[in-house]
Amino acid sequence: MTAASIPGDPTYRAAQRRDLLRFMAASRHPLGFGWLRDDRTLEPGRPVELWISCRMTHVACLGVLAAEPPAPDGPALSELRDLAEHGVRSLTGPFADAEHGGWFSAVGPDGVVDAAKAAYAHAFVVLAASSAVVAEVPGAETLLDEALRIQLEHFWDDSEGLVVEKWDRAWGEPEPYRGVNAVMHTVEAYLAAGDATGDPVWRERAGRMAARVAGWAAGNDWRIPEHFDPSWSPLPDFNRDHPADPFRPYGATIGHGLEWARLLIQVDAGHAESAAALFARAVTDGWSVDGADGFVYTTDWAGSPVVRERMHWVIAEAVNAASTLERVTGEQRYVEDAARWWAYAERHLVDHERGSWHHELDPHNRPSAVVWSGKPDVYHAYQAALLPDVPLVPSFATALRNRAQGQP
29, 256, 358, 359: the active-site residue: 256
For residue 186, which of 143, 150, 141, 139 has the smallest C-alpha distance? 150
In 10 A of CB 174, how many CB atoms? Answer: 18
| Beta-carbon contacts of residue 339 (< 8 Å; ≥ 6 apart) | 7, 8
Dist CA 85 CA 61 (whole Å): 9
| Beta-carbon contacts of residue 397 (< 8 Å; ≥ 6 apart) | 58, 61, 62, 65, 130, 131, 134, 135, 192, 195, 196
29, 271, 359, 380: the active-site residue: 380
Number of residues assigned to the chain: 408
Mark whether 380 is an active-site residue: yes
Are 309 and 348 in contact by the 8 Å Cβ rule? The answer is no
Dist CA 243 CA 370 (whole Å): 11
Alpha helices (H) in 287-350, listed in sequence order = 312-329, 332-344
Instruction: Tell me if residue 97 falls in helix, strand or coil.
Output: coil
For residue 130, which of 51, 197, 219, 217 has the smallest C-alpha distance? 197
Any idea which residues carry the catalytic annotation? Answer: 256, 380
